[in-house]
Chains A and B, each alone.
Chain A
């Protein structure tokens, strides 16, 4: 079975540009999570969805960040405008409530560099 698929794997952009990161969760999973990882702050939960509905976005750093999940097989994380401090690796993860274990399945990540 395919795992969580993220794109792009690497993105280099200039300050002020819009960045869109994409995620396809594992089929049948009803939870989707977006994380950010940096050396300074470690792994941070940004937002998560249940059945395509945002449940908790308290980790989103500021209004420049937005996330959507238009259907069960696709989610986007958008940064507009981007800033150098947004440089990080962004992970998408999914899980199934039916398993009742809380186990998360992570994608390979999108490494963002903002110049």
Chain B
């Protein structure tokens, strides 16, 4: 079945640093790919998504590009803020099973 592997955290960055959180997937076919974010004390919420190869999802300064050749969907942000401190989950969806989530990466941004 499908699986998602993302880099383990925690990741600690200074404000305005560049962020990359790696995510790779295995799936039969071409899944839709997602990044979800969970702020402290809240549920998961969709951050961005991409439904086909070479698509770029973007939101709140975050970006991720669907790379079929490397089966990756790495999350990037050019300049993180303290308010970006959260847990980030990569996920894939192939249409016949529920979303498959990675284990999550905790990001802490310090001022």
Chain B proximity of A46: nearest CB distance (Å): 11
Count how many pairs of residues, one from A and one from B, have CB atoms less than 8 Å apart in the complex.
Answer: 45
Bound CA–CA A10/B89 (angstroms): 24
Bound CA–CA A45/B43 (angstroms): 14
Q: Is B103 within 8 A of A108, CB to CB?
A: no
- Those of A29-60 within 8 Å (CB) of chain B: 31, 33, 42-43, 45, 48, 56
Chain A residue at minimum C-beta to C-beta distance from B46: A103
Q: Which of B34, B43, B98, B103 contacts A106 (CB 8 A)?
A: B43
Chain A residue at minimum C-beta to C-beta distance from B33: A102
Q: Is A106 within 8 A of B104, CB to CB?
A: no
Quick check: is A85 within 8 A (CB to CB) of the other chain? no
Hey, which chain A residues are within 8 Å of B93, CB to CB? 101-103
Q: Is A42 within 8 A of B103, CB to CB?
A: yes
**Please, how many residues of chain A have a CB less than 8 angstroms from a CB on the other chain?**
20
Q: Which of A33, A45, A103, A109 contacts B49 (CB 8 A)?
A: A103
Q: Is A101 within 8 A of B49, CB to CB?
A: yes
Q: Which of A45, A102, A106 contacts B45 (CB 8 A)?
A: A106
- Those of A92-108 within 8 Å (CB) of chain B: 93, 100-108
Q: Is A43 within 8 A of B32, CB to CB?
A: no
Quick check: is B99 within 8 A (CB to CB) of the other chain? yes
Q: Is A106 within 8 A of B32, CB to CB?
A: no
Q: Is A108 within 8 A of B99, CB to CB?
A: no
Q: A43-B101, A107-B43, A109-B43 are in contact. Are A101 and B51 (CB under 8 A)?
A: yes
Q: Is A33 within 8 A of B42, CB to CB?
A: no
Hey, which chain A residues are within 8 Å of B45, CB to CB? 106
Report which residue of A31, A48, A102, A108 has the largest number of chain B beta carbons within 10 angstroms of its beta carbon.
Answer: A102
User: Residues on A close to B: CB < 8 A?
Assistant: 4, 31, 33, 42-43, 45, 48, 56, 91, 93, 100-109
Can you list 22 A-B pairs, Cβ within 8 angstroms, ordered by A?
A4-B43, A31-B98, A33-B98, A42-B103, A42-B104, A43-B89, A45-B98, A48-B98, A93-B43, A101-B51, A101-B93, A102-B95, A103-B46, A103-B49, A103-B93, A104-B99, A106-B43, A106-B44, A106-B45, A107-B43, A109-B42, A109-B43
